[in-house]
Chains A and B, each alone.
Chain A
Amino acid sequence: GENVEQHPSTLSVQEGDSAVIKCTYSDSASNYFPWYKQELGKGPQLIIDIRSNVGEKKDQRIAVTLNKTAKHFSLHITETQPEDSAVYFCAASQWFKTIFGAGTRLFVKA
């Protein structure tokens, strides 16, 4: 069945450094790739997304890249801050069905 693999499962960086999370998806029909941030005790919140007709998208300190041929997409966070500490999920979607990765727990050390 459809699958999304996400790496690493845990990532620890120093404040100000960059963080990169990578995902691979299996369903070639996927055309929408959202990224969510989940803080403790809360539901996931969309932070950025990219569609299959775009290779890269940037929003301030956050950027996503998509390689549809290789079925890879990545999240890049620059100048990390302690408040970026959370669990991040990638996802691949086709119409209403969204398949999530297992999540990356990001720790940003002050």
Chain B
Amino acid sequence: DTEVTQTPKHLVMGMTNKKSLKCEQHMGHRAMYWYKQKAKKPPELMFVYSYEKLSINESVPSRFSPECPNSSLLNLHLHALQPEDSALYLCASSRPLSPSSYNSPLHFGNGTRLTVT
């Protein structure tokens, strides 16, 4: 079990669909992250939110649109994806960012396994 909950666990979508991935944490964390992981590869950073504001976008295509509606929720909106976007999408969070906690570990969810057909 993890304290970061991701839904759905599995998602199959067509290339013309619009879908959203959801991530929720109730640990009071104020930094949240999206990663993408292809099979047999390490996770790759996509986005970082700090205090509900986007702080890092790793040149991710616009067909991926993140949203952080409040301090507990992180969404990833998907539109017009390609089959090569099929992957495990991981969400993570870390403690409120203050000088005493800049170095807090990231806590990961178990991911959403996305298949684009």
Q: Do A and B come from one complex?
A: no
List residues of chain B with CB under 8 Å of any chain A CB: none
List residues of chain A with CB under 8 Å of any chain B CB: none
